Structure 1
Amino acid sequence: MVDGHRDKPAWVNSCQRMKPVLKNHHPRTRIYWLAMPVDAGRAGHSPAGQAAKLRDWVIGRDKDSDDSVAAYQRLAHDIITAIPEQFAPQPVSADMIDWFWRHNAWRGVFNNPLPRRATTDQLDTAALPAAVFDDGDQHHRGGRLLPLHLIAAGLAAAAIAAGLLVGLPLAAPLAVLSAAALLAWTAGLRRIPSWSKTLRVSSPEGAYPDSYQAILPVVDMPKAGIVFPGSEFLQALDDLDTGATFDFAVNLVTVSREMEFVRNDRAKGNIDDQFTQRRDVRNGDAELIATWRQLAEYNRQLEANIDERPLHAAFVIAVGAPDQHTLDYSVKRLREELTQSGQIAIRHYRGAQTKLWAAFNPAAPAHKTTIDQFTQPTTTKKWSRFVPFTSSMVGNSTGILLGFNRNNALNSAVLLDLPAAARRNRNPCLVCSGALGYGKSYAAKRITRGEIQRGAQAFIVDPGTEWEKALADVDNKAVIDMAGNQFSCDPLRVFPADVAGGYWLDYMVPMMSLDARSVGVRRLRAILQADVAAALDITSTAALMKYISHIQAPSTGPDNRAPQVVRLADDLAPILAALQSWASHAFTRAIFDDTLPVPDLARLDVTIWLTGSLDLPTAKEMNTPHLYEQLSDRKRASVAIYGMLVRLARVTFFADPTRFGLIVLEEASALLNSRAGADDAHLISRQARKHYTGLLIITQNPIKDLALMGDEFITQQLIMPFENEDLARQVAAKVGIRLDDYPDIEEFFLAQPSPDEMRDPTAFDEVDSAAGPNRGARQGYGFFVDEFRRKSPIWVATEPDAAVHDAYDTTPGRAA
């Protein structure tokens, strides 16, 4: 969050204040640890490895010599460079290995983050904390008392009696059993061993609490196989939030084609033999035929390509928890989740937990971990299409904390960095949409404040006063009422001289209902050329009116005007009359009063333009010709003033490509449904990247409000719940979310009332205290589409500062 902005104290302090929020949500990201042997199996754990080990012994090769180590390094480099760059592999440091040991040993109780930067070059394994493995948790589950000394005495007495009554042949076995029981008692065996499926890992030094773990190999998959999508069943681990830690290991072993064919031929022979041996077993022939067909298909795939290699894949899942109850519940939920996600069966074995635990340690031999008993044979081609896990990443790696990913239970942080998007040659525009009261404006205010603290300029168009309250504590800002008398919005004064005349015509001609093709307007266009206007000293609308009045016929005395001036005056007379009429309105003083100051937008950090006093027409009035012709003067002036704001922001920010500028359009319906406003917003959406400018649009109906503007170049959207289901479905389809992927779309886009709002009142309700607003589980819950078009449900982060939070909240009745 602070990356690249450590020189901004306000932003650094804001990030520090977010620590409680981060701690509360506990965001995590799954880390994948990739280990591949480079010694060609010289430890001798496979036939090929045994041959290599024998060859090295015969020729006297030292596998730890400098030449051998250099060969290992070259092979490791070849392997690393073969990994696609999208995975961004990082070399493991000594600190990471230390962390990995502690994470595996005390899974579920050791929650330190992975160290990013190395602090040492070497790892002393003797310095690693020792771990004691208690398979079955004998310490707490010792079982019943086993009175071996009494059993030994009883067996001895029985042996003596049998020797006296029957003879030595019967007494000898009893005597042996008595001696064995006595030896076991002498060795310290006092209880029946526990057969619990738990592996308890403790620290003799007391460095960490006891970790209760369950190691669960995958023992069965659908006979027809699993294809993507659907093969990412390991993602189910990230959907569980039980208080436990879930890890998985995938062990891949490539074997020789020839050895695999021999193995398959042997298996085929066994199947043929069982046709006679299992003929009387229920459904035996059907099972054998199905297995025979699978084996034949496996052989066919291996024979299809000479480069095809057989591959054995084994999946093991580890669950770690701080106590036995949490572990049992987590294993139960894991079984249910895997069954629902793909009919995957896992087994919890007794007495083998320590060996299976070793599978999570790199370089542990497969025959020592017993993981080779759970392999699933396949081919390298089919494995490449398996896709056992996918990324749920959304957002940016740096930027403002927008919220937390709700795609799974990891709650990974979702960051938004609009300036960085521009630097990546992507569109720095964002649309926040949704129904009233679900957090779209709240999120927009957090984003805007964050960008201001990171050094950006903000230009905010606010139809009310909520942004003035939200940013009340921000210095170096101006709050301008567009229908007031504080600042001027005369196009000839606020815009640069080289474009002021053209922009004046764009807004003032439609406002005054003048015909753009009339002779007077054409004459006016020539006068407002930058060089002509400068020569005539026309620097404001008032100066323009003064000039046109000056060239009119004198009220008294002779008319000494030149013929061309007379014709010009006659052509401009209707325009002068219109200007004089419009200047008489109080709501147009900001345009016609040249004594009002012009805001220095380049110097200000924040400019808030209040448009609530403007009487803006509806979208229907703007888009229906006869209704547009009937607009009142106030509405026409409002459209002109409103449209000038966005163009003013664009001109101001586009002129300074060194500082990021953010244009915020709150409740942008009126602006985006005007032709000039929509054109300017569309131009910003296309060219903002080049000029280091961002656009943030807040709307309740993105389908209707963005239609005239065109949103094909805007990728980033924050979609909050909608009250209207049809609108919710249209928005989902618009951003490319298929209903096949989200059949329960109302879970993501449709607002849901809280149970308290829906239930019948009872006599037990505290009526006076029950009036607090509650939008149910949907409040703060949205769907985010990032600049790369990745989509995910998120939970919008809230401000930890109560004063700032209340300033953002627009709910009536809450303290500001």
Structure 2
Amino acid sequence: MPLTKQPTRQIASNLRFTRSGVVWADYLLEGLEYGYRPTKDKRTVRDLHRMLARALHGESLLLGVCAGLDPLAIVERMERGVDLAEHPAWDAECDATVDTLERIRPGRRIYWLSVPLGTHKALDQVKIAARSGFADIVDFLGMPAAAVSDKEIASRQKQADKIAALIPADFRPTPATPAQMVWLWTHQLSRGLGMDPDVPEVESGVEEEGKTAAAFASARFDAGARLDREEEGFRSHLPSYDKVLRIDQPWELEKLPPSYQVNMCLSDLPAGGSLFPGSEFLSICDDQAGRDIDWAMRLHVRSTDEVRAKNRRALVNLNEQFHQRDGEQSHAMSHLQGISEDLAEYDSLLENDRMEVEVEFTTVVTAAGPSAEEALATAKDVAKAFEVANYRIVAPTGFQEELFWACVPGHPKPSICSEFRQITTSGKWAMYVPCVRHDLGDATGPLLALNISTARIGVVHHDIAGKAVRDVSGSLAVVGDLGSGKSVTLKTAGNHIIDRGGQLVVVDSTVLGEYERWAGAIAESTVVNVGEPTVSLDPLRMFSPRRGAEVVESLLMPLLDLEPASRLGAVLSDVLDPAYRSKHDIESLADVVTHLNGGGCSLNGAEDVAERLRVFARSSYTKVLFDASLPVLRPTSPAIVFRTHTLSLPSHDEVQHQHLYRQLSIQKRVGRALYQLIAELAKTICFADPDRLAGFLCDEVHRITDWPEGVSTLKQFNLDGRKHDAALILGSQAPEGLGDPTMQSLIPTRIVMRQTDADLARRCLEWLGMDLQDDDSIVKELREQTSPSTGRDNFVEEHRRGEGYMRDASGNIGRIKVMAPATESRRKAVTTTPKRSEGSKSTAASELVTV
């Protein structure tokens, strides 16, 4: 079986000098964010594709190639900026993540644009033809090929740069390197084998040498897989009608298995036209779970003047046919009338927009596998998926090898492409938005989740420290129903902070101490049980004199129901003044009570303030504030957990209405005050060392945000956190639980997990930024197909846990599956929910007196 030569003779920079004599320029394009973005953003993506088509005059080749993501490269991005020797827990997590990723095999789609550089002079065309013929003679005689001159390379590079300058900057056209060109050829030869290396990265400051044809592996092409026949003799040479192409490399030292590929062409579009959004037919290629489906578009763009001249000639021919059939009533006349109307409409489109161009395109979709049976089965499934969307693709018999070459940069367009060409305007071609992506998260940092927006699984990094460098908040909020995976997500994000050397402040409001047990399992932790304290949270002992006075005022004024400008409010303010406290040796809240209660205070109204203060000072609920015998909290542990399960809180109405507020119990007033104090302490602790990563983790955050003071503290934390390398990690069952609309909008990274209530699900998705309009399909998907339970005690199967939707700090929205830690100890810590033992009792039950 003859050896078919690949078309490239020599590479210099991103220039490809081919056997036909034509020089091609290759670029990598970046897909535009699409996914779950609002319709107005999708229209912008469509408009950019229209501009892309108008920038490509003449012939070009656009590829959508499946590429794997190297687990080691992903983990390297997790390790970046962290001294692993000092943080062995993170080192172990990264090592374990490699094994996890190797099982998952994440990938991405890269977009490749290859454009032949035109020659406008007849003499240049003659030179190209002569050079091509001479090169063929040199190859035939076995003589060494002459290198391309530096002068021609420079001239061609200028041509290529002009083309790149016309491409919309949003696509970020990047010149392909010689190594990447060789990678593309190797990928095309081994599709379906899962043996691709990663796309070679471009190292800054390193100039890569060009390559010759010898760098491209030789391959044998067997249309119909005749080499697999068991027959011998003349039967083995009979034509095959199997629609499969067998490619192997028998001359390589390390013999690889053959790749079986099925190349299919788009043969028909929806009869009624395409509706945008919804016309993105190439996205079907990304919806084939576990299968890598490549696609290619052979484009030919013509200017308005060229097309209108062609249309005029067509109209002249039509008029002649009309005159020849004058007076004849037949289907042929009706057909001619229809063609005439189509041409008139097409001409009108070009006339209305002088910038409009004609786009002729042939689409080739390639399915592959390690065997002919698997490749054909995959091709059949892909064809069915296209058919469901009202698009038709076919695999023409006898043209499998020609269609393979149609997808290879540098190869002349095979004649079979003309049989499947579609002709339209740039505006309508742009509706197919071929170059899109669904990326989420940051370029580096801890691996928070898998991106499952399409069947092509990606990865989601969440880098708090990296966001701070870009002046972006690293704060994260998770909203979800009970049992949706919210707490696992919060703990996983907290793990990342602690294991990378940061500090975490946690509020644990669970009766069973879920977060306390988790924090104790992963790091040295300090637990502050505000109901049974062993340390003091007295602000006068913990903060500087000035800051301590401010915190105590904000704490005691609402607690004692005092107005700052009132007589009693002024007394309290005077006593807390740093100069006054220094003069009277007041060092704690207990000293304030003693001083006001006959301890030498001569201020008018001191007794009234003391009377109110004594009511709270003698309560067991305020021991954490007024017991001066307790040692003060020293916030040095990696994890500080505030246990608040014994605190009672007022309802929103009780806080908003004065007459209800005055009837509040001591427990509720103290509960509100202590949550406010904890929020202030968390901010102070997290902001203490700007060089240390820190986070404030609070599930059921409505306990803080149900009143204005709490919302104000979290807003300030979120706005200033990036300056101190600190972030909020918040959990709630509804977006409203995060605070007022401003507070909700200040959280850049948002995750929504399963919600069973339809109205709540809709509000959650709108909080993400989705444009739902009249489409309830995503609401239904969130309710029923996000970590769905099997119905047995709301049990969710392991492979479906942690699903949700995410909006990253850049506004990109996609579907995710949160990744629990890879190391067994960390994974067990975040996924274990404490269960009450048979002999255990709740706090309330333990306080009952048996008579």
- Shorter chain as denominator, the TM-score bin is 0.7 to 0.9
Q: Which residue pairs with 2:190 in the alignment?
A: 106
Q: Which residue pairs with 2:620 in the alignment?
A: 586
Q: How many Å apart are 1:231 and its aligned residue?
A: 3.5
Which residue among 222, 229, 247 is the counterpart of 2:294?
247
Q: Which residue pairs with 2:409 in the alignment?
A: 362
Q: How many Å apart are 1:29 and its aligned residue?
A: 0.9
- Counterpart Cα distance in 2 of 1:233 and 1:627: 60
Tell me whether 1:197 sits opposite 2:274 in the alignment.
Answer: no
Which residue among 85, 91, 109 is the counterpart of 1:12?
91
Tell me whether 1:806 sits opposite 2:812 in the alignment.
Answer: no
SS of residue matched to 1:694: strand
Which residue among 392, 399, 420 is the counterpart of 1:345?
392
Q: How many Å apart are 1:522 and its aligned residue?
A: 0.4
Q: TM-score with structure 2 length normalisation?
A: 0.79
SS of residue matched to 1:617: coil
Q: Which residue pairs with 1:784 in the alignment?
A: 806
Which residue among 180, 195, 214 is the counterpart of 1:126?
214
Q: Is the alpha carbon distance of 1:756 and 1:720 closer, same or farther for their aligned partners in structure 2, counting shifts above 3 Å?
A: closer
SS of residue matched to 2:112: coil
Which residue among 610, 614, 632 is the counterpart of 2:647?
614
Q: How does 1:522-671 map to 2 (within 5 A)?
A: 522-549=570-597, 551-552=599-600, 566=602, 568=603, 570-601=604-635, 603-671=636-704
Write out per-residue CA displacement over residues 180-201 of structure 1, whole angstroms, 9 at most, x where no aligned residue: xxxxx8xx56664221111111
SS of residue matched to 2:573: helix
Tell me whether 1:3 sits opposite 2:80 in the alignment.
Answer: yes
Q: Which residue pairs with 1:23 in the alignment?
A: 102
Maintained 8 Å contact 1:392/1:407: yes
Q: How many Å apart are 1:504 and its aligned residue?
A: 0.6
Write out per-residue CA displacement over residues 521-580 of structure 1, whole angstroms, 9 at most, x where no aligned residue: 20221232223323332221122223334544xxxxxxxxxxxx64x1x41012222333
SS of residue matched to 2:211: coil
Q: Which residue pairs with 1:428 in the alignment?
A: 474
- Equivalent residues, number: 737
Q: How many Å apart are 1:673 and its aligned residue?
A: 0.9
Q: 2:99 is aligned with what amino acid?
A: P
Q: Which residue pairs with 2:67 in the alignment?
A: none
Q: How does 1:263-412 map to 2 (within 5 A)?
A: 263-272=310-319, 284-304=332-352, 308-341=356-389, 343-366=390-413, 368=414, 370-380=416-426, 383=429, 387-412=433-458
- Structure ID, larger Rg: 1
- Counterpart Cα distance in 2 of 1:333 and 1:138: 24
Point out the more displaced range, 794-803 or 257-266: 257-266
Q: How many Å apart are 1:709 and its aligned residue?
A: 7.5
Tell me whether 1:116 sits opposite 2:150 in the alignment.
Answer: no
Q: Is the alpha carbon distance of 1:377 and 1:543 closer, same or farther for their aligned partners in structure 2, counting shifts above 3 Å?
A: same
Maintained 8 Å contact 1:781/1:795: yes
Q: Is the alpha carbon distance of 1:377 and 1:357 closer, same or farther for their aligned partners in structure 2, counting shifts above 3 Å?
A: same
Which residue among 655, 665, 672 is the counterpart of 2:705?
672
- Counterpart Cα distance in 2 of 1:200 and 1:662: 55
- Counterpart Cα distance in 1 of 2:353 and 2:563: 76
Maintained 8 Å contact 2:383/2:394: no
SS of residue matched to 2:820: coil
Q: How many Å apart are 1:132 and its aligned residue?
A: 1.2
Tell me whether 1:234 sits opposite 2:282 in the alignment.
Answer: yes
Q: How many Å apart are 1:720 and its aligned residue?
A: 0.7
Q: Which residue pairs with 1:733 in the alignment?
A: 766
- Counterpart Cα distance in 2 of 1:701 and 1:303: 53
Point out the more displaced range, 262-271 or 349-358: 262-271
Write out per-residue CA displacement over residues 344-385 of structure 1, whole angstroms, 9 at most, x where no aligned residue: 22221011110110122111111x464244333344565556
Q: 1:632 is aligned with what amino acid?
A: S
SS of residue matched to 2:744: coil
Maintained 8 Å contact 1:394/1:405: yes
- Counterpart Cα distance in 2 of 1:756 and 1:588: 43
SS of residue matched to 1:789: coil
Maintained 8 Å contact 1:678/1:708: no
Q: Is the alpha carbon distance of 1:453 and 1:69 closer, same or farther for their aligned partners in structure 2, counting shifts above 3 Å?
A: same
SS of residue matched to 1:113: coil
Write out per-residue CA displacement over residues 498-530 of structure 1, whole angstroms, 9 at most, x where no aligned residue: 121121121123223345443232022123222
Q: Is the alpha carbon distance of 1:139 and 1:742 closer, same or farther for their aligned partners in structure 2, counting shifts above 3 Å?
A: farther
Q: Is the alpha carbon distance of 1:29 and 1:671 closer, same or farther for their aligned partners in structure 2, counting shifts above 3 Å?
A: same
SS of residue matched to 1:437: coil
- Counterpart Cα distance in 1 of 2:793 and 2:427: 62
Q: Is the alpha carbon distance of 1:50 and 1:741 closer, same or farther for their aligned partners in structure 2, counting shifts above 3 Å?
A: farther
Q: How many Å apart are 1:397 and its aligned residue?
A: 1.6
Q: How does 1:253-264 map to 2 (within 5 A)?
A: 253-255=300-302, 260-264=307-311
- Counterpart Cα distance in 1 of 2:329 and 2:89: 77
Maintained 8 Å contact 1:142/1:192: no
Maintained 8 Å contact 1:675/1:708: no
Tell me whether 1:713 sits opposite 2:746 in the alignment.
Answer: yes
Q: Is the alpha carbon distance of 1:269 and 1:332 closer, same or farther for their aligned partners in structure 2, counting shifts above 3 Å?
A: farther
SS of residue matched to 1:34: strand
Maintained 8 Å contact 1:721/1:778: no
Maintained 8 Å contact 1:407/1:793: yes
- Counterpart Cα distance in 2 of 1:444 and 1:384: 41
| Alignment RMSD (CA, Å) | 3.4
Which residue among 50, 53, 69 is the counterpart of 2:125?
53
Maintained 8 Å contact 2:264/2:394: yes
Maintained 8 Å contact 2:805/2:815: yes
Q: Is the alpha carbon distance of 1:652 and 1:774 closer, same or farther for their aligned partners in structure 2, counting shifts above 3 Å?
A: closer
Q: How does 1:482-493 map to 2 (within 5 A)?
A: 482-493=530-541
- Counterpart Cα distance in 2 of 1:547 and 1:310: 88
Q: How many Å apart are 1:440 and its aligned residue?
A: 0.8
- Counterpart Cα distance in 2 of 1:381 and 1:773: 49
SS of residue matched to 2:197: coil
SS of residue matched to 2:337: helix
Higher strand share: 2
Q: Which residue pairs with 2:149 in the alignment?
A: 65
Maintained 8 Å contact 2:575/2:592: no
SS of residue matched to 1:139: helix
- Counterpart Cα distance in 2 of 1:470 and 1:334: 46
Q: Which residue pairs with 1:765 in the alignment?
A: none
Point out the more displaced range, 454-463 or 702-711: 702-711
Q: 1:645 is aligned with what amino acid?
A: I
- Counterpart Cα distance in 1 of 2:93 and 2:361: 47
Write out per-residue CA displacement over residues 167-222 of structure 1, whole angstroms, 9 at most, x where no aligned residue: xxxxxxxxxxxxxxxxxx8xx56664221111111221463222111111222224
Write out per-residue CA displacement over residues 253-274 of structure 1, whole angstroms, 9 at most, x where no aligned residue: 2346665445434444554566
Q: Is the alpha carbon distance of 1:281 and 1:355 closer, same or farther for their aligned partners in structure 2, counting shifts above 3 Å?
A: farther
Q: Which residue pairs with 1:88 in the alignment?
A: 172
Q: Which residue pairs with 2:112 in the alignment?
A: 33
Tell me whether 1:795 sits opposite 2:829 in the alignment.
Answer: no
Q: Could you list the runs of 5+ residues in structure 2 that have no partner in the other structure? A: 1-77, 135-145, 838-851
Q: Which residue pairs with 2:228 in the alignment?
A: 140
Q: Is the alpha carbon distance of 1:452 and 1:748 closer, same or farther for their aligned partners in structure 2, counting shifts above 3 Å?
A: farther
- Counterpart Cα distance in 2 of 1:32 and 1:197: 26
Write out per-residue CA displacement over residues 40-79 of structure 1, whole angstroms, 9 at most, x where no aligned residue: 15xxxxxx686641378999x9994332221111222233
Q: How many Å apart are 1:708 and its aligned residue?
A: 8.1
Q: 1:790 is aligned with what amino acid?
A: N
- Counterpart Cα distance in 1 of 2:533 and 2:399: 82
- Counterpart Cα distance in 2 of 1:210 and 1:683: 61
- Counterpart Cα distance in 1 of 2:326 and 2:640: 85
Q: Is the alpha carbon distance of 1:406 and 1:752 closer, same or farther for their aligned partners in structure 2, counting shifts above 3 Å?
A: closer
Write out per-residue CA displacement over residues 63-107 of structure 1, whole angstroms, 9 at most, x where no aligned residue: 943322211112222333443443333332332222211110111
Point out the more displaced range, 192-201 or 127-136: 127-136
Q: 2:403 is aligned with what amino acid?
A: L
Maintained 8 Å contact 2:280/2:431: no
